[in-house]
Amino acid sequence: MANRDVKVPCAIVGSGNIATDLLVKLQRSSVLEAVAMVGIDPASEGLARASELGVETSAGGIDWLLERAGDLGVGLVFEATTARVHAAAAPRYREAGMTAVDLTPAAVGPLVVPTVNLGGHLGEANVNMITCGGQATAPVVAAVSRVVPVPYAEIVSTVASVSAGIGTRQNVDEFTRTTARALEQVGGAARGKAICIFNPADPPILMRNTVFCALPEGYDEVAVAGSIEAMVAEVAAYVPGYRLKSPPVFDTGPYATPGGPAAGRVVALLEVEGAGDWFPPYAGNLDIMTAAAVRAGEALARARIGVPA
């Protein structure tokens, strides 16, 4: 059995704000140790910050990392670049025997939410963290679908305009499509739909998510609400600012949903306040991604080295 005092070395690929926030969170991890951050711009502020925090850095990109991975003992990487970069890098990590936690929309590996389906993917060489909206809403859909079949789930994710980077903005469709897929593949809904809204209010709003689940005849309100509340508590264990704004609201239909007729629906209103590590607290959308990624990385590392959870 591995020594629990020895942390598992990992690397961060990418040197933007997500990468910096990941680094701050990894420094608190009792399982992982970030030993390197790689980027492609020698003038990157992210690399400078990482260097100050005592992490080895390089602007030599993935080539440098693969060359040095052996010496650094890195078997786990967090990819915080872009979908295109990750799609190209994924086979190289796999070849090098490295496990990748993918924070880009590349979705090379299965979509995972730590509290829902990560346990079934601990042997994967690559897992994808979906989208911020997916991390925030798929668990709630899963909470409902473990109690009652969900013919259709729909979510509305609203984030502060200042918290949405240019990558997201240039490809909003990728966000809506990937999130909708997660409602089905991870959440267990027969059909999923995602809506994404940017709100420019100043001061910036906290990330908010509304989850609608269609409910079949004979649903049990107490069981559905209880399951949602339990799931929210589980997610809040790694995203402390993740909470229901009010108890789930039940409405009686009938509704003609794209997944078929439904007798009623449940509406869960969620708010995500970030931990305020590198991002300001309103950017709960970014915080939930990095927090979920660290959580996933820790579980994969434990599985890899046989440390009991």
Which listed residue (195, 263, 303, 307) binds another protein by CB under 8 A?
Answer: 195
Q: For 148, what's the count of Cα atoms within 13 Å in the CB-facing half-sphere? A: 26
Which is nearest to 102 in space by CA: 125, 127, 120? 127
Segment 276 to 295, residues that bind another protein, using CB under 8 A:
none
Our CB check for another protein shows the closer of 78 and 255 to be: 255
Residues 151-190: x/- map of binding to another protein (CB under 8 A)? Answer: ---x-x-x--x----x--xxxxx--xx-------------
Query: C-beta of 218: minimal distance to another protein in Å?
Result: 20
Backbone angles phi, psi at 219, to 5 degrees: -70, 155
Q: For 57, what's the count of Cα atoms within 13 Å in the CB-facing half-sphere? A: 23
Amino acid letter at 268? A
Active-site residue list: 132
Query: C-beta of 195: minimal distance to another protein in Å?
Result: 5
The two tokens of residue 82 are 């872009």
Is the distance from CB of 67 to CB of 42 less than 8 angstroms?
A: no
The two tokens of residue 18 are 């997500």
Our CB check for another protein shows the closer of 49 and 208 to be: 208
Segment 106 to 125, residues that bind another protein, using CB under 8 A:
none
Q: Which strand (E) or helix (H) includes residue 129?
A: none
User: How many Å apart are CA 39 and CA 81, to the nearest integer?
Assistant: 9
Q: Does 212 bind another protein (CB under 8 A)?
A: yes
- Binding positions for another protein, rule: CB under 8 A: 154, 156, 158, 161, 166, 169-173, 176-177, 193, 195-201, 205, 208, 210, 212, 214, 245-246, 249, 251, 255-258, 265, 267, 269
